[in-house]
């Protein structure tokens, strides 16, 4: 078909430009999402390597040192998440991701050459700075470059990459069971270097550039990410307008001052922080870190526990991807309310199997309840943890509130991880699972009473509901 003579073929040219723009933003998302893969791998690989580590160091695999080796990466993540928010504001998203990638690469190598438990714990803390930093920076970086109509699908690359990292760690632990643990940890240096080199070729966030009075550079960036220069110019104008509003709203007092002194903000802060906490304390993170250890303690063979760990990773990845597809249709609150009760039943069933079986629990029943729990947890509340943190907080406090959100998430993860083996030792595996079942029910009650549905609502509508005291579901 010939080109339209009135347009001189420009329609085809725009199509070509649009294809190039889509390819550019896809490349950005895929490269940046490597940070999610590293986060998933570095936090997940410990589940299969911990028995080797404790044996090499001659320490108790169920003791305090084993818990600290596992958990200090999360302590680093708390610090990294808070520090990276300030750093990305000062030096930009791209440079911050470069620093994150470098910390990932150096951190895994330091872990691999650690001669004793103390040095490994310090190295794991250092590595955690990158884990927390990437969760604070990379989703925002992708979101600020992506077109608004497809922002969710591009940001989702990060979430899915986390699942890929967790599954990869499980497969590596299984396939290379007899390989020294140092090599399994050091292997993560390869994607870290790819992220470091790859991100150097990507552009800076246009929003950060506008905030630094570099609108011409922002326009050049967006021109490569949008089908036409006119669309890019319009978006830069919108960014300039929104930035001016942010400056005016934060001129009188800081964000942290508002968080702690403005009463109308408290329902949103409480709802967001509680969702973040419940993603961590309801059992899924404990299963990702300690499934092989738990199953060995229950009497299952090493190879069985590692195969089950792979199955856990497969279910996590599958349901995280599926949940992301459905969250805009079912709704955030509805998804959590529908999946938390069956998750509680399944983890309670897993605990009962452990109780009844004694030293020889039924593997088919244990595996069934465990994977069903992962099914409901990974496809439910785990899908919306970071998502609701980006939706609930008003514009004037969003940067500080999302930092608080990250701190709550990583802090509660740290608390659960550092106490998990002690709880199992004190209550038996079956008793510990019943505690997690109860926490799932507590989460359901809190979400039912204090967390609103945000599906189909603009950020402005959510903020209006806060100001007009109709934010809570019962309002």
- The closest of 89, 83, 184 to 135, measured between CA atoms, is 83
Structure tokens at 90: 């000062």
Q: How confident is the model at residue 68 (pLDDT cuts 50, 70, 90)?
A: confident
Check pLDDT > 90 for residue 35.
yes
Q: Which of 371-385, 431-445, 452-466 has the lowest mean pLDDT?
A: 452-466
Judge contact between 150 and 225, C-beta under 8 A. Answer: no
Find all residues with CB under 8 Å of 213, minimum gap 6, and list them: none
- The closest of 55, 347, 46, 25 to 185, measured between CA atoms, is 46
Q: What is the mean pLDDT of residues 137-163?
A: 77
- pLDDT at site 296: 75
- The closest of 420, 430, 302 to 361, measured between CA atoms, is 430
CA angle 395, 396, 400 (to 5 degrees): 95
Find all residues with CB under 8 Å of 256, minimum gap 6, and list them: 400
Count CB atoms within 10 A of the CB of residue 240: 15
- The closest of 174, 169, 138 to 156, measured between CA atoms, is 138
CATH number of the structural domain 257-475: 1.20.1250.20
DSSP E strands in 35-153: the ranges are none
- No. of H helices and E strands in the chain? 21, 0
The torsion region of residue 322 among left (phi > 0), alpha (psi -120 to 50) and beta comes to alpha
* Residue linked to tokens 């906490």: 277
Count CB atoms within 10 A of the CB of residue 228: 15
- The closest of 287, 219, 370 to 362, measured between CA atoms, is 370
Judge contact between 436 and 286, C-beta under 8 A. Answer: yes
Q: How confident is the model at residue 94 (pLDDT cuts 50, 70, 90)?
A: very high
Judge contact between 76 and 125, C-beta under 8 A. Answer: yes
Q: What is the chain's Cα-based Rg?
A: 23
| Phi, psi of 412, deg, nearest 5 | -70, -35
Q: How confident is the model at residue 201 (pLDDT cuts 50, 70, 90)?
A: very high
- Rounded to whole angstroms, the maximal C-alpha distance in the chain is 81
Dump the DSSP string for 56-84. Answer: HHT--TTSHHHHHHHHHHHHHHHHHHHHH
* pLDDT tens digits along 326-368: 777 788 899 899 999 999 999 999 989 888 876 677 778 888 9
Fold of the CATH domain 23-202: Growth Hormone; Chain: A; (1.20.1250)
CA distance 429 to 418: 16
CA distance 363 to 345: 18
* pLDDT tens digits along 161-193: 888 998 898 888 888 888 898 999 999 999 999
């Amino acid at each position: 078909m010939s080109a339209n003579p009135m347009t001189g073929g420009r329609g085809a040219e725009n199509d070509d430009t649009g294809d190039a723009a889509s390819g550019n933003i896809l490349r950005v998302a895929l490269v940046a999402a490597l940070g999610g893969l590293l986060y998933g791998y570095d936090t997940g690989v410990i589940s299969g390597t911990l028995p080797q580590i404790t044996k090499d160091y001659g320490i108790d695999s169920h003791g305090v040192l084993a818990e600290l080796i596992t958990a200090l990466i999360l302590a680093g993540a708390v610090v990294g998440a808070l520090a990276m928010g300030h750093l990305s504001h000062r030096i930009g998203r791209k440079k911050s991701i470069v620093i994150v990638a470098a910390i990932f690469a150096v951190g895994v190598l330091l872990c691999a050459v650690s001669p004793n438990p103390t040095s490994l714990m310090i190295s794991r803390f250092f590595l955690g700075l990158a884990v927390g930093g990437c969760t604070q920076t990379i989703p925002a970086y992708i979101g600020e470059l992506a077109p608004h109509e497809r922002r969710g699908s591009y940001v989702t690359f990060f979430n899915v990459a986390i699942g890929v990292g967790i599954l990869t760690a499980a497969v590596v632990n299984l396939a290379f069971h007899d390989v020294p643990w140092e090599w399994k940890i050091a292997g993560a240096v390869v994607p870290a270097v790819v992220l470091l080199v790859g991100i150097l070729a990507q552009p800076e966030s246009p929003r950060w550039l506008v905030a630094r009075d570099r609108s011409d550079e922002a326009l050049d960036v967006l021109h490569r990410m949008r089908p036409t220069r006119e669309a890019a110019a319009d978006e830069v104008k919108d960014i300039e307008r929104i930035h001016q509003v942010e400056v005016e709203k934060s001129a009188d007092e800081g964000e942290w001052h508002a968080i702690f002194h403005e009463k109308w903000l408290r329902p949103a802060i409480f709802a967001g922080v509680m969702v973040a906490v419940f993603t961590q304390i309801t059992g899924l993170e404990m299963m990702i870190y300690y499934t092989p250890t738990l199953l060995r303690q229950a009497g299952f063979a090493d190879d069985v526990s590692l195969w089950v760990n792979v199955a856990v990773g497969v279910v996590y990845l599958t349901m995280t991807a599926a949940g992301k597809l459905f969250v805009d249709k079912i709704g955030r609150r509805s998804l959590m309310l529908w999946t938390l009760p069956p998750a509680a039943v399944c983890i309670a069933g897993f605990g009962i199997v452990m109780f009844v079986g004694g030293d020889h629990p039924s593997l088919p029943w244990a595996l069934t309840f465990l994977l069903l729990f992962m099914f409901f947890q990974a496809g439910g509340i785990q899908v919306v943890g970071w998502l609701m943190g980006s939706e609930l907080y008003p514009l004037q406090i969003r940067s500080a509130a999302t930092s608080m959100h990250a701190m709550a998430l990583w802090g509660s993860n740290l608390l659960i991880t550092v106490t998990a083996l002690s709880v199992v030792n004190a209550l038996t595996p079956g008793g510990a699972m019943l505690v997690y079942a109860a926490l799932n029910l507590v989460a359901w009650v809190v979400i039912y009473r204090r967390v609103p549905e945000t599906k189909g609502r603009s950020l402005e509508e959510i903020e209006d509901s806060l100001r007009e005291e109709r934010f809570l579901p019962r309002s």
